[in-house]
Structure 1
Amino acid sequence: MRVAIVHYWLVSMRGGEKVVEALCDMFPDADIFTLVYDESRVSEKIRGHVVKTSFLQRLPGAIRHYQSLLPLMPFALESLDLSGYDLIISSESGPAKGIIAPPHSTHVCYCHSPMRYIWDHYHVYRSHAGLASRIMLPVIAPLLRSWDVSTSMRVDRFVANSHHVRARIGKYYGRSATVVYPPVAVEDYAPSDAVEDFYLCAGQLVSYKRVDLAVRAFTKMERNLVVIGEGKELAMLKSIAGPSVKFLGRVPFSVLKEKLARCRALIFPGEEDFGLVPVEAMASGRPVIAFGSGGALETVVPEQTGLLFYEQSIEAIIDAVRSFEEHAEEFDPETIRTYAARFSTRNFKFGMDSIIQEELRARKSSTLAAISHAETRRFPLDSVFPVPPPGTDIVH
């Protein structure tokens, strides 16, 4: 069986790329298809596979400015040649599911999220975009939405990374989905005997993650906050931060692991489709203070693995931090770690394998049923070739 893994773009190692790594483990001979590829910024495991790119790869500056090529992405995806592949697994958060699969193949889509920037986060993205994007988005977004909905019918089976995403798949695509939580290498994290006097924010520094709220809240409280990550918001965040907020930028895994284990708690102020960082913090034995929406509702258990606040505001974060500090001793690191184990890579692989095998069996049964039906139907010869009436002379 020839297997293809399709991922929107491979230019960094975040949650979506961790899913690709787990799929690579499951299918070590699979080929990977992607829009653009930066070999220097992905893992050795991904580099060990054949990676095939779209024509966007050849455009000057595509790797750095790939997001500005959004109008071309449908054309680029449909240009990818997947002829001969029996199983196609698309890892979808951009438009990856839009590939054209061969008729005999099985296409399973692992959906991290329908494209946020044309659906539920459209107005947020547009308000934070540059002038050119603000002008162009109202023109191209309706076309992309139509394409996105129509290509959802190219998928044989949807898998969602959370119940939150499953609901959005149902709303925007009218398709059902099975939930399999994304893989977290929980065994790579461990608690520390020494918890230090700082809170932690970690992840990509983009507007919808609302790190600005955490920076303003901790500046106002004069509490120590460490921010790990890089992104378009970094300069702005530094400009509003007080002396109690420290920015580390992009750090090696060893540093991230240490900070997760030694922080008082992780601050998670954005709405995520799932959110890997809270699970990584819990695997390190540390509680999470999160905005009570999206994936956090499925990973953070109030009073057991953390606290939730229900308004994205500075005041709500301050109140949540103060409430946490009143009950900090009640959070047990081992209880938190035990809960995090349900999001393991092993559980992801088991769930995905079960779904894939089920779809392959269904595809095989459907094919056999079609063949059987065709063989049992006997069309009379005269329905194809006219038969002359008896007694008619036939000229040879």
Structure 2
Amino acid sequence: MRVAIVHYWLVSMRGGEKVVEALCDMYPDADIFTLVYDENRVSEKIRKHKIYTSFLQRIPGAVRSYQSLLPLMPFALESFDLSDYDLIISSESGPAKGIIPSPRATHVCYCHSPMRYLWDHYHVYRSHAGLASRLMMPMLAPLLRSWDVNTSLRVDRFVANSHHVCDRISKYYRRSATVLYPPVNVDDFTPATSIEDFYLCAGQLVPYKRVDLAVAAFTRMNRKLLVIGEGKQMEELKRAAGPTVTFLGRVPFPVLKEKLARCRALIFPGEEDFGIVPVEAMASGRPVIAYGSGGALETVIPDLSGVLFGKQSVDSLIEAVLDFEATEHRFHSDELQAHAEQFSLHKFTAGMQTIINEELLIRRTDRSRSHRPIAAMQRGLETQLPVLATKPHSTTLQ
């Protein structure tokens, strides 16, 4: 069985790329197809596979500015020749499911999210875009949404990374999905023997992550906040931050691991489809203070793994921090670790293998059933018209 893994772009190692790594473990001989690829920013595990890029790779600056090429992505995806593959697994958040599978192929889509910038986050992305993008998006978005919905019909089975994403698949594509949480390498994280007096915010510094709320809240409270990550909001956030907020930028994994284990709590103010960093914090024995929406509702359990706040506002976040400090003694590292175990890599690979095997069996059964009426018709004709049976070249029934 020839297997293809399709991922939107390979230019960093975030949650989506961790899923690709897990799929690489499951199918070590699989080929990978992606729109653009930066081999210096992905893991060795991914680099070991044969990787095919689209024509976008040849455009100067595409690896850095790939998001500006969104109007070309449907053409790039459909240019991939996947006709020789029996199983196609697309990893969807940007466009990926829009490849053209062969009629005999089984296409399973692991959906991190329908494209946010076309659907429920469209107005947020447009308001933060440059002038040219703001002018073009209203003209291009309807066409891209239509393509996005139409290509959902090319998928045999949707797998959603959370119930939140499952609902969005149902809303925008009118398709059902199986929920399977993404893999978190919980064994890579361990609690620290001592906790330090600082809070942590980690992730991409882009508008929808709402790191601005954390910066403003901790500046007002005069409490220590470490911010790990990089992105286009970096300079803006630095200008708004007070002396108690420190920006570490992009850090190596050992530093992230150490900060997760030693912080009082992780601050998670954005609405995420799932949110891997909160689970990594729990695996490190630390609770999470999160905005109570999206994937956080499935991982952050009040009084067990963290505190939820109801509004994306500075005041609401400050209130949640004060509530946490009043009840901080209730959170225990061993309980947090046990809670994180349900999101482990092993559970993902076992669940994904079961889903794929089920879909392969369904497809094989459907193909077998579709051939039975034709075979029966042929037998019937041979019974009624024995002359045809003795002269097979005189008629053709396929």
Instruction: Indicate the SS of the match to 1:6.
Output: strand
1:343-386 CA-to-partner distances (Å, cap 9, x unmatched) read 000000011000000000011111111222210113749x99xx
CA distance in 2, matches of 1:260, 1:221: 21
Letter in 2 for 1:310: G
* TM-score computed with the length of structure 2 as normaliser: 0.95
Letter in 1 for 2:216: R
CA distance in 1, matches of 2:371, 2:122: 46
CA distance in 2, matches of 1:108, 1:212: 37
Q: 1:35 offset after TM fit, Å?
A: 0.2
> What residue in structure 2 maps to residue 247 of structure 1?
247
Instruction: Indicate the SS of the match to 2:107.
Output: strand
1:188-219 CA-to-partner distances (Å, cap 9, x unmatched) read 00000110000000001100000000000000
> What residue in structure 2 maps to residue 28 of structure 1?
28
Matches within 5 A, 1:157-236: 157-236=157-236
CA distance in 1, matches of 2:304, 2:108: 35
1:153-173 CA-to-partner distances (Å, cap 9, x unmatched) read 000000000000000000000
Instruction: Indicate the SS of the match to 1:64.
Output: coil
CA distance in 1, matches of 2:71, 2:311: 34
1:208-242 CA-to-partner distances (Å, cap 9, x unmatched) read 00000000000000000000000011010000000
Matches within 5 A, 1:72-221: 72-221=72-221
> What residue in structure 2 maps to residue 45 of structure 1?
45
Structure 1 gap ranges (5+): 388-396
1:36-59 CA-to-partner distances (Å, cap 9, x unmatched) read 000000000000000000000011
Letter in 1 for 2:315: E
Letter in 2 for 1:315: D
CA distance in 1, matches of 2:368, 2:149: 30
Letter in 1 for 2:111: C
CA distance in 1, matches of 2:273, 2:20: 17
Instruction: Indicate the SS of the match to 1:116.
Output: coil
> What residue in structure 2 maps to residue 366 of structure 1?
366
CA distance in 2, matches of 1:374, 1:231: 59
Letter in 2 for 1:303: D
CA distance in 2, matches of 1:374, 1:24: 39
> What residue in structure 2 maps to residue 306 of structure 1?
306
> What residue in structure 2 maps to residue 288 of structure 1?
288
Q: Identical aligned pairs, as a percentage?
A: 71
Instruction: Indicate the SS of the match to 1:195.
Output: coil
Instruction: Indicate the SS of the match to 1:183.
Output: coil
User: Where does structure 1 differ by over 4 angstroms across 4 or more consecutive aligned residues?
Assistant: none
Instruction: Indicate the SS of the match to 1:117.
Output: coil
Letter in 2 for 1:207: P
Q: 1:273 offset after TM fit, Å?
A: 0.3
CA distance in 1, matches of 2:286, 2:34: 36
* TM-score computed with the length of structure 1 as normaliser: 0.96
CA distance in 2, matches of 1:347, 1:205: 30
1:216-272 CA-to-partner distances (Å, cap 9, x unmatched) read 000000000000000011010000000000000000000000000000000000000
